[in-house]
Amino acid sequence: MPKYVPFQPLSLPDRTWPNQTIRHAPVWCSVDLRDGNQALINPMGPAKKMELFKTLLRIGFKEIEVGFPAASETDFSFLRELIEQQLIPDDVTIQVLTQARPQLIERTFEAIAGAKNAIVHLYNSTSTLQRRVVFRADKAEITKLAVDGATRIHELASQVSDGRVRYQYSPESFTGTEIDFSVEICDAVCNVWQPTIENKTIINLPSTVELATPNVYADQIELFCRLFKFRDRAIISLHTHNDRGTGVAASELALLAGADRVEGTLFGNGERTGNLDIVTMALNLTTQGIDSGLDFSNIKEVRRVAEFCTELKVHERTPYAGDLVFTAFSGSHQDAIKKGYDAMKESGQEQFEVPYLTIDPADIGRQYDPIIRVNSQSGKGGVAYLVENELGFRLPRRLQVAFSQVVQQATDSTGQEMPAREVGKKFLETYVSPPAELVYRSHKPLECDLEDQEMFQFSIEYQGVAHEVVGQGNGPLDALVHALTEKFGLAYDIQDYQEHAMEAGSGSSAAAYILLKTPEGTELYGVGQHRSLTKASILGLVAAINRCLGLSRDATSKR
């Protein structure tokens, strides 16, 4: 006998769910304070429970499972505090879990006394495995347990006069239960509760343990809905766990299969590998243009509260909320993200279309400036994005390539990420203010008789000595190059010149990019920035010359 036996999926060749799409949000129920809490190393005390409860209200949950009051004094008194202090808004229903045991049910009703709206959630396990090893009971005995529990709940609920009590039943371990038996036991419970179209019962079909691929769960839900006699008088609820890492997928596919409601927790906290991550599922809907009804516009705050209350960290790669999910390290991703943002800016379009990003980080209170980070895997796109973001320089393509090599050398040698500010600093010290043998002070135009030519006098310092040099050319840059060649024998050719106005906020100055070629054929960029475009250009040229001079200094010192 093999140690692991494959799950035997049911046969549903005429399944319809693959042809469906999700068009609206389900009813959400948070089980953070119960299923999430029961799975914590340090279960929440009253203060943490209250903080999380208030956060769940702010997010917009209208159904919240607040505990298992018959199992825990903390849960019981928390519930009493919520009710007695009138902390439950009228449009919010609290839910409480109980096993199908009379004393526990009675204690549960004591806990909810005075609540305006409550769901009493009854469960018992129905799977073949649990029937055999835990309950050692046959189907009839398991059904009797559920029916007796449902009956006691019905009796106690009929005595409640000051609030509305709704019913929920979970055939726990539904995924490991034969569908016929799940239907049979849910029908039996509903025969007791007699739901109506106006007063539906919630039938929660948990993937208590995720045993198979998510499509199998969807088949189970679709078939259950077809066979269940009370389908029209029931709200079909999902409750997935994440043992195979597909808790979200299973809930999404099962919604296609006809479910109406979903239980889960923030960031998927819960037993073992966790519950359904409601944040992910809700924001997946947002990315499809569907209003989830939940507010995650400040996801950092939601995460802070969840981490504080559960004492568990949200992983860096957790969808939407993780530290690294709006960060692209690799070059081609960075390049594409930059181009995507540029294209959106240029076209002014509202539709969010940026490669590699499914959601606008700003919509969930995150910023996109730390999206791009630079390490040795990065390329020109990301490096250029950071320089533009940090300093306002829009680098010409060849300069992007050149600077990304400078950054790569630095990150390769340290093996570390280079933070945005460091990238900016590296850019400035490499291209804008490299070590200066030549310093520009000022310039003034002189009379020039030659057509298409201009003459200038430049005040400069070269190797620590002040000079006045005169040169002529087709503009100030050409004139300075000629003056320096004549006076000091500095023979560099301008290969490329580009400029742009810098965006408002950076002092409405101009940036100029000068590519110089040395007599040996090396090409080096210099960059200038100034309120005057002419001065920005001269400063860029002087920076490029200083880089050329630095290169020959290095070559001499190596000889």
Ligand X SMILES: CC(C)C(=O)C(=O)O
Ligand Y SMILES: CC(=O)SCCNC(=O)CCNC(=O)[C@H](O)C(C)(C)COP(=O)(O)OP(=O)(O)OC[C@H]1O[C@@H](n2cnc3c(N)ncnc32)[C@H](O)[C@@H]1OP(=O)(O)O
Q: What track of x and - describes contact with ligand Y for positions 476 through 515 (by CB under 6 A)? A: ----------------------------------------
The residue (of 97 and 536) whose beta carbon lies closer to ligand X is: 97
**Per the structure block, which two tokens stand in for 507?**
């002092």
The residue (of 173 and 518) whose beta carbon lies closer to ligand Y is: 173
Closest CA to 381 of 348, 414, 350, 354: 354
Whose tokens are 């568990």? That residue is 312
CB of 263 to ligand X, least distance (A): 7
The correct pick among 208, 246, 286, 537 for binding ligand Y (CB under 6 A) is: 208
DSSP per residue, 200-216: PEEEEEEESS--S-HHH
Closest CA to 186 of 200, 95, 109: 200
CB of 8 to Mg ion, least distance (A): 23
Query: SS3 helix, strand, coil % of the chain, rounded to 5?
Result: 45, 20, 35
**Per the structure block, which two tokens stand in for 489?**
């024998």
The reply to whether 496 sits in an annotated binding site is no
Whose tokens are 């009971």? That residue is 137
Of 187-195, 204-212, 246-254, 393-401: span binding ligand X (CB under 6 A): 204-212
Residue 549 site contact among Mg ion, ligand X, ligand Y, none (CB < 5 to 8 Å, cut-off depends on kind): none
The correct pick among 65, 172, 184, 277 for binding ligand Y (CB under 6 A) is: 172
Name residues contacting ligand Y, limited to 296-315 (CB under 6 A).
none
The correct pick among 30, 95, 127, 170 for binding ligand X (CB under 6 A) is: 170
The residue (of 31 and 359) whose beta carbon lies closer to ligand X is: 31
**Per the structure block, which two tokens stand in for 115?**
């609540």
Q: What track of x and - describes contact with ligand Y for positions 118 through 157 (by CB under 6 A)? A: -----xx---------xx---------x------------
CB of 422 to ligand X, least distance (A): 48
Name residues contacting ligand X, limited to 221-250 (CB under 6 A).
239, 241
User: Is 276 within 8 Å of 282 (Cβ atoms)?
Assistant: no
The correct pick among 26, 32, 33, 35 for binding Mg ion (CB under 5 A) is: 35
Q: Is 217 helix (H, G, I), strand (E, B) or coil?
A: helix
CA–CA dist 176, 54 (Å, integer): 35
Residue 290 site contact among ligand Y, Mg ion, ligand X, none (CB < 5 to 8 Å, cut-off depends on kind): none
The reply to whether 482 sits in an annotated binding site is no
Give backbone dihedrals phi and psi of 543, rounded to 5 degrees, phi first.
Answer: -60, -40
The residue (of 207 and 220) whose beta carbon lies closer to ligand Y is: 207
Strands (E), 4-62: 27-30
The reply to whether 239 sits in an annotated binding site is yes
How many residues sit in the footprint of Mg ion (CB under 5 A)? 1
The reply to whether 333 sits in an annotated binding site is no
How many residues sit in the footprint of ligand Y (CB under 6 A)? 15
515-531: b or e for each residue (b if 16 or more CB lie within 10 Å)? bbbbeeeeebbbbbbbe
Q: Which residues contact 215 (CB under 8 A, 6 or more apart)?
A: 18, 253
* 204 binding ligand X? (CB under 6 A): yes
Whose tokens are 């495995």? That residue is 129
Name residues contacting ligand X, limited to 69-108 (CB under 6 A).
97
Q: What track of x and - describes contact with ligand X for positions 108 through 147 (by CB under 6 A)? A: ---------------x------------------------
CB of 121 to ligand Y, least distance (A): 10
DSSP per residue, 24-58: SPPEEEE-IIIIIHHT-SS---HHHHHHHHHHHHH
The residue (of 243 and 342) whose beta carbon lies closer to ligand Y is: 243
CA–CA dist 176, 241 (Å, integer): 13
Closest CA to 62 of 233, 308, 295: 295
CB of 202 to ligand X, least distance (A): 11
Pairing between strand 117-125 and 523-530? unpaired
Q: Is 258 left (phi over 0), alpha (psi -120 to 50) or beta?
A: left
Quote the distance between the C-alpha of residue 93 and its chain's center.
29
The correct pick among 67, 69, 149, 206 for binding ligand X (CB under 6 A) is: 206
The residue (of 122 and 524) whose beta carbon lies closer to ligand Y is: 122
Helix-then-strand count for the chain, H and E: 17, 14
How many residues sit in the footprint of ligand X (CB under 6 A)? 10
Of 6-14, 146-154, 200-208, 433-441: span binding ligand X (CB under 6 A): 200-208
Residue 204 site contact among ligand Y, Mg ion, ligand X, none (CB < 5 to 8 Å, cut-off depends on kind): ligand X
CA–CA dist 215, 204 (Å, integer): 18
Positive or negative: CA dihedral 392, 398, 400, 403: negative
CA–CA dist 287, 354 (Å, integer): 12
Binding site for ligand X (CB under 6 A): 35, 97, 123, 170, 172, 204, 206, 208, 239, 241
Binding region for Mg(2+): 35, 239, 241, 275
Residues that bind Mg ion (CB under 5 A): 35
Q: Which residues are annotated as a binding site?
A: 35, 239, 241, 275
Q: Which residues contact ligand Y (rule: CB under 6 A)?
A: 35, 38, 68, 71, 99-101, 123-124, 134-135, 145, 172, 208, 271
